[in-house]
Structure 1
Amino acid sequence: MATPRSKAGTKGVPRHLRRQQMLEAATEEFGSRGYATASLAAVAERVGVTKTLLHQHFGTKEDLYVACVTPVGDGLLDAIRTAVGEEGATPDTPLRVLRGIFVALEGRREAWFVLYDRSLPPGGAGARTAASYWAAVDTLAADGTAALLRAAGSDDPLDADALRHVWTDLVGTLVRWWVKHPEETPEAMTWRCARLFTVAAALAVDPAPPN
């Protein structure tokens, strides 16, 4: 999962591969330390290049963050959209979405924290880019949870809003737990979630509507 620290440098490495190495190292740095404390010097050290060369490729720290978060956000959105599919939300959709997220993050699990980084300077390009992905993910969550509620016979907008918040928080909690358990493969984690959902469903009761 971690990018090995290297002193070897990238002399003789094709430009596109060197750039990819820098992005991978920066993604780990931002994901493990957060934007506020991440260091360009540490990124350069991970790859074995100079900080000057890193600036030449990516510009400022914020420019580098945007270059890192964009493929992360695109990958997660693609995974969620693929999981939902053309048929829309079904009872299996939540697990498909979770599995898609786990697969998309495998090998770079810290990338989740690159996207959901609350230490980003407000108003900057990094914060705006991250917020655009948050909004897109929230829209997909809102559409999916509302569709599931309609299938269950509820068209209450407050139900939909509450479930969207519950689902969004649940996904974040599960991913954070998964990051702390590197032995859990995406498949194993998906099955774990399925078991947890089964238990949660068994504990649920059908409440009487208020008078």
Structure 2
Amino acid sequence: MTTHSSKAGTKGVPRAARERQFLTAATEEFGRHGYEATTMAAIAARVGVTKPLLHQYFGSKQDLYLACLDPIGDRLLGAVRTAMTEPAAEGPPTSLRVLDALFTALDGQRDAWFVLYDATLPPDSEALHRAASYRGAIDDLAATGTADLLQGAGSGDPLDADALKYAWRGLCTALVRWWINHPDQSPAAMTRRCARIFAAARSLVPADGDQA
């Protein structure tokens, strides 16, 4: 009688490789369709296995979502933190460094942004609480950066900083969505495009003493 290794997967695929297949497929499904509309059956079908096998590996849909979320949240949070701690002297402004870090971290898995920023997560669920924790940590870093930006512009109104923090998240989401629809654009190309957009936006704002 042949004894199979506990590391063996199905159809000759090692267990670790099969897990990576599940996580890749699930990240794309959650990112493209949202938690609510994603089914375990659809994820299993993408990998070419049965739904019961997927449940054997990850349990419930929420368990699978969390297995996708944690590496995404850690990667994006680490990218933003690193970008904000780099010396700014003679380099691009913090906003562009952060965007470049996000684009680089998402390259090859752009839908991952919408796994973290999923509006369909069940209320009061572990999935929502875990995602909110990552979002809050990223927002806290963004608040630091936007406060510095406003201080440099002479604004001391705390509501300006709060409004800009939310606007920044919306901007990042819009840029990533546009990027997904333009798969030929590299992270570096996206950063250069953002630099041009920011420069154009600054030209629309009247300088001190000018009339609006």
Fold agreement, TM-score > 0.5: yes
1:20-57 residue CA offsets vs partner (Å, 9 max, x unmatched)? 11101111111111111111111111112221111111
Residue 197 of structure 1 deviates from its aligned partner by: 0.6
Residue 64 of structure 1 deviates from its aligned partner by: 0.6
Between 1:161-170 and 1:29-38, the stretch displaced more is 161-170
Which residue number in structure 1 is paired with residue 65 of structure 2?
65
Which residue number in structure 1 is paired with residue 43 of structure 2?
43
Which 5+ residue runs of structure 2 have no aligned equivalent?
A: 1-8
AA in 2 matched with 1:182: P
Between 1:27-36 and 1:84-93, the stretch displaced more is 84-93
Which residue number in structure 2 is paired with residue 103 of structure 1?
104
Distance 2:41 2:189 in 1: 37
Residue 91 of structure 1 deviates from its aligned partner by: 6.0
Which residue number in structure 1 is paired with residue 170 of structure 2?
169
TM-score (normalised: structure 1): 0.88
Query: Is contact 1:10–1:48 with CA below 8 Å preserved after alignment?
Result: no
Distance 2:159 2:132 in 1: 24
3-state SS of paired residue (2:118): coil
Identity of aligned residues (%): 58
AA in 2 matched with 1:106: D
Distance 1:145 1:118 in 2: 24
Which residue number in structure 2 is paired with residue 126 of structure 1?
127
Change in CA separation of 1:117 and 1:185 when aligned onto 2, cut-off 3 Å: same
Change in CA separation of 1:61 and 1:124 when aligned onto 2, cut-off 3 Å: same
AA in 1 matched with 2:57: H
Which residue number in structure 2 is paired with residue 3 of structure 1?
none
Query: Is contact 1:91–1:148 with CA below 8 Å preserved after alignment?
Result: no
Which residue number in structure 1 is paired with residue 3 of structure 2?
none
1:118-150 residue CA offsets vs partner (Å, 9 max, x unmatched)? 111101111111111111111111011112222
AA in 2 matched with 1:60: S
3-state SS of paired residue (1:120): coil
Q: Map 1:26-37; keep pairs closer than 5 Å.
A: 26-37=26-37
AA in 2 matched with 1:168: R
Residue 151 of structure 1 deviates from its aligned partner by: 3.3
3-state SS of paired residue (1:36): helix
TM-score (normalised: structure 2): 0.87
Which 5+ residue runs of structure 1 have no aligned equivalent?
A: 1-8
Residue 187 of structure 1 deviates from its aligned partner by: 0.8
Distance 1:29 1:97 in 2: 26
Which residue number in structure 1 is paired with residue 84 of structure 2?
84
Q: Map 1:136-147; keep pairs closer than 5 Å.
A: 136-147=137-148
Distance 2:52 2:159 in 1: 52
Query: Is contact 1:66–1:126 with CA below 8 Å preserved after alignment?
Result: yes
Residue 109 of structure 1 deviates from its aligned partner by: 0.8
AA in 2 matched with 1:45: A
Distance 2:10 2:194 in 1: 41
Distance 2:152 2:19 in 1: 47
Q: Map 1:188-199; keep pairs closer than 5 Å.
A: 188-199=189-200
The two structures, once aligned, show a CA RMSD in angstroms of 1.9
Distance 1:29 1:107 in 2: 15
Q: Return the index of the structure with the highest Cα Rg.
A: 2
Distance 1:143 1:192 in 2: 24
Which residue number in structure 1 is paired with residue 115 of structure 2?
114
Residue 10 of structure 1 deviates from its aligned partner by: 4.3
